[in-house]
Amino acid sequence: MQDDDLPQLPDPDEPTELQLRQFADQHAAHLRDLIAEHGWAVQGVIGDHEHPSVSYTVGLTRYHGHPELVVVGLGNGGGLLNLLGERVKAGERLRAGQVIQFERATQRVCFVTVENPEPLIYANELYQWADGPPVPALQVVWADPAGWFPWEEEYAVSPRTQPLLGPLPESLA
């Protein structure tokens, strides 16, 4: 038997299509379990030197079609998304242009409609209607430590850290 005749094992650095599908199916099942237990889940996507990290909810759509929430540029946006998820679960409807000041923190956030929510892969996989549009989403835009938002001149964080994923509502301009 020659080396060419031996079965080739998949390269661990390049998973096969089947391995990727199996992982995605297992992860979707895990998210379904979290949603069943808590009402929603948070999916994180690690950033790199060119793209900021992103976290988004999966499951808020269950609450009367509420948009999913996306936060960009926070290393761990899950805590913020969970605080907001509790509000949605309690019946609050978050909307584009709304500003929230948290009671126990100096942090302010506001909401912008996400123009293209297709990259919210698991939210769309679990909640998008067949042949329907992607699930709606709101970006949770966070203020810098001094309370300024990215479109304000005084904003002290690099604009690349938190790019806006949709148009700025008139109420915030």
Q: By the 8 A CB rule, do 27 and 43 touch?
A: no
Asked if 125 contacts 142 with a C-beta cutoff of 8 angstroms, the reply is: no
Structural domain of residue 164, as residue ranges? 41-172
pLDDT at 106 (0 to 100): 65
Is residue 11 in a domain?
no
Contact 56, 42 (CB under 8 A): yes
Does the residue 5 lie in any domain? no
The pLDDT, as a whole number, for residue 105 is: 65
Quick one: which of 145, 146, 149 has its CA closest to 162?
Answer: 149
Per-residue pLDDT of 59-103, as tens digits, reads 999 999 999 999 999 877 899 999 999 999 999 999 999 999 987
**Across 1-158, where does the E strand assignment appear?**
41-45, 54-58, 68-72, 99-101, 108-113, 137-142
Residue 26: inside a domain: no
Find, among 46, 66, 62, the residue nearest to 54 by Cα: 46
In a domain, 28, yes or no: no
Query: Would you give the end-to-end CA distance of the chain in angstroms?
Result: 72
Tell me, yes or no, whether 87 lies in a domain.
yes
The pLDDT score that the predictor gives to residue 6 is: 43
Q: Please tell me the predicted confidence (pLDDT) of residue 96.
A: 97
Report the distance separating Cα 111 and Cα 69, nearest Å.
9
Parts of the chain with a pLDDT under 50? 1-3, 6-7
Asked whether residue 58 is assigned to any structural domain, the reply reads: yes
Evaluate whether residue 27 is within a structural domain. Answer: no
| Total of domains in the chain | 1
